[in-house]
Chains A and B, each alone.
Chain A
Amino acid sequence: MIHRSDGSNHADSEKAVTRGLRICFLAIALFLTAHHGNAMSQDAASTPAPESPVALPSLLFTPAITGEEGRFRATLEPGESVTFSAVLANNGEIPFRFVSYAADAFSARNGGFALRELESEPTGPTTWLDYPTETYEFDPGEGVERAFAIAVPEGTPPGEYVTGIAMQTADPFTQDEGGMFQFEQINRTVLGIAIIVPGERSPILETGTPEMVVEGGIPGVLIPIANTGNSRTEPNGQIDIRNSSGDIVLTGPIQLGPIYGGHATEIHIGLPAPLAPGEYSVDLRLSDPDHGLTLEASALPMTVTETEDETIASSPVTISSATLTPLPDARNVQLALIEATIENLAEPIGNAQLTVVVSLDGQEVERFALSQSLSLPNGATSVSGRYLPLTGWTSGDWRFELVLETVGSGGVATVVDRHTFDEVIEIP
């Protein structure tokens, strides 16, 4: 069953014929919605997938009008208003109670649209919505078309404002599995709302002081970032972190989701192991060509102190041994054979790389990839390779260092260990 409730600012005076037409179009909208798959739903009639052991709620939550692509968007001058409609329905196989509410949007960590929780206090553009929290109890196939108004207050400055509405299970799904920790499980689907108040719009990015954090037993680098402008930005760029000697200990690309105007969030980069205590500097370069935005933050200071979290292995991946052998011999060098054993005391690592940093008379001359896309299972892994200088063995003292990096899913490479060879190849 579908029932429709209108927003208080838009009392319905339609006659029965009009209502019937609306219902017909609602049926079409529901059809299209499921066809577009813009909300959680279950297809009881045609799904060949195996059934779940227990019946679970399935939410259908979408704009009532097709073509909205799963979100609402309006351009309004201060003092103007608009009315939208959303469809909420039980698209599952058993009766369930659902609650629908408006909540503040925020920019998620590393960017992205996110919505506050049910109990949160609405602020800003969320207060422009006439969408009080309501609870519904639907049998399978039942739903409601709910109209709601958005009114932009007089005096609102130009900008892009975001907020949202959500539909979620009213009663947590809980199982008594025993054990010390129990979960209440909630399903939620979100629709975003963007309101454009015409005028000049541009994003402005500012960064804060980086810090190393340990969350959930996982070390990481956190950099506060704020968009103090009045429209979104979706920047990409590069981060480099150097230790006090100037050596890069972390490098890689940064790709952020949307950071909306007036929002503050964080850039978070997970690390396979904590950085050693000491002083570091962070170079961060971000750009968003679509909005003509460039941010270059150089030498941001970062101080790392000793972590007290005993659940973290300080260095689970190490170069446990390494040898450097001139071939065929030290008096007649043609090649340098480099052999290393890497010990991984933690979970398997899917992507690591071992690089040889080569110096001649104290000056770095080459970085040679001894092994790329290296898989490190738990335990020992042997790696070997032969090195021949691009320029040949020219006169001087040749020194070598191994650098072991892990590469995260985002392409960020983190130096987890180094090994400096005592051996020097002296070429007269």
Chain B
Amino acid sequence: MNRYARIWQVLAIALLIGVSALLPASASDETRITITLQNVGSLSVAWLDSERTFLVNGEEPGVSSSSPARATAEFAIEIRDTRADGERHGYSVAIAATAFTAIGSTTPLAPDQLAVMSVASAPATVSPVGAGQSLSTAVTLLTVEDEAPPVTTTITVTVALTIVAGTMPGAYSGRVTLEVLPLQAQP
């Protein structure tokens, strides 16, 4: 079906879309309208509110100057896909990290000290691919192909952090980005 046929097909449906406000263009030529999406289905991928504390054998890391430690934390990511059959294009989900730094510390924890250890609870219809990869670069957690069954689930990603010997005690903070990349976005 060509683009124009599709647009005309959808035009009737578009009447269902509420255009509740149409304001004149502002000085910067901005036009505002309200869009209401109705029963069209969507894809949502987001962090889930959950515990994300790095622990060593269930305990806070006890860093010493002479011995390293390996701590793990679990991240929950919620995926909700309500798109219709025939309209589910593929996508991948990835995470990336920056270095962890602490005020007064001269030993930042680099992203390559973080690694994805496992991706749990992913349905059999997706391909978890990130296990065993360090976060020195963005790590693809899973890929859902075109027309695959809809995925609505919560996956758990276990991330390990290697705390090298000599790491100064302190409150470290870093940034983790959850990224959604439609497969079609690969130009």
Contact = CB atoms under 8 A, between A and B. Distances in A.
A277 interface: no
Nearest to A234: B186
A48 B73 CA distance: 29
Interface in A39-79: 39-43, 45-49, 52-54, 56-58, 66-67, 69-73
Contact of B38 (A45, A89, A117): A45
B61 to A, nearest CB: 6
A27 to B, nearest CB: 5
B152 A4 contact: no
Interface in B12-71: 13-14, 17, 19, 21-22, 24-26, 28-49, 51-55, 60-61, 63, 67-71
A311 B46 contact: no
Given A28-B11, A180-B60, A216-B114, A34 B41 contact: yes
Interface size class of B (residues with CB under 8 A): 35 or more
Contacts of B160: 216-218
Contact of B89 (A69, A144, A183, A184): A69
B95 to A, nearest CB: 10
Contact of A180 (B32, B46, B140, B171): B171
Contacts of A301: none
A27 B80 CA distance: 23
Contacts of B171: 180, 182
B175 A172 contact: yes
Interface string B100-139: 1000000000001111011000000000110111111110
Contact of B134 (A47, A216, A409): A216
Contacts of A178: 53
A180 B81 contact: no
Contact of B180 (A31, A34, A189, A258): A189
A3 B22 CA distance: 10
A418 to B, nearest CB: 23
Nearest to B128: A409
A71 B183 CA distance: 9
A316 to B, nearest CB: 13
Contacts of A215: 112-113, 115, 134, 136
Contact of B178 (A164, A186, A194, A347): A186
B178 A187 contact: yes
A5 B91 CA distance: 28
Contact of B133 (A20, A114, A194, A270): A270
Nearest to B25: A19
A53 B3 CA distance: 40
Contact of A43 (B78, B82, B180): B82
Which among B21, B26, B36, B67 has the highest number of chain A CB atoms within 10 Å?
Answer: B36
A183 B174 contact: yes
Contact of A31 (B14, B30, B161, B179): B14
Contacts of B180: 39-40, 187-190
A28 B14 contact: yes
Contact of A49 (B10, B80, B91, B129): B80
Interface in B156-184: 160-162, 165, 169-184
Given A5-B28, A69-B184, A172-B175, A112 B140 contact: yes
Contacts of B170: 180
Contact of A409 (B30, B43, B91, B129): B129
A71 B51 contact: no
Contacts of B82: 43, 46-49
A88 to B, nearest CB: 12
Contacts of A408: 132
22 contacts: A2-B32, A5-B28, A11-B29, A31-B17, A35-B40, A40-B45, A40-B180, A41-B44, A43-B82, A48-B82, A49-B80, A56-B46, A58-B44, A173-B47, A179-B60, A181-B53, A185-B177, A188-B177, A215-B134, A216-B113, A216-B160, A217-B160
Interface of B: 3, 6-7, 10-11, 13-14, 17, 19, 21-22, 24-26, 28-49, 51-55, 60-61, 63, 67-71, 73, 78, 80-84, 87-89, 91, 96, 100, 112-115, 117-118, 128-129, 131-138, 140, 152, 160-162, 165, 169-187
Q: A-B pairs with the 6 shortest C-beta distances? A: A216-B115, A194-B187, A215-B134, A270-B132, A70-B184, A192-B187
Given A4-B31, A180-B60, A216-B112, 17 more contacts: A2-B34, A3-B31, A30-B37, A32-B10, A46-B38, A46-B39, A49-B80, A49-B152, A52-B48, A70-B89, A175-B49, A179-B54, A181-B172, A191-B185, A193-B187, A309-B68, A310-B68
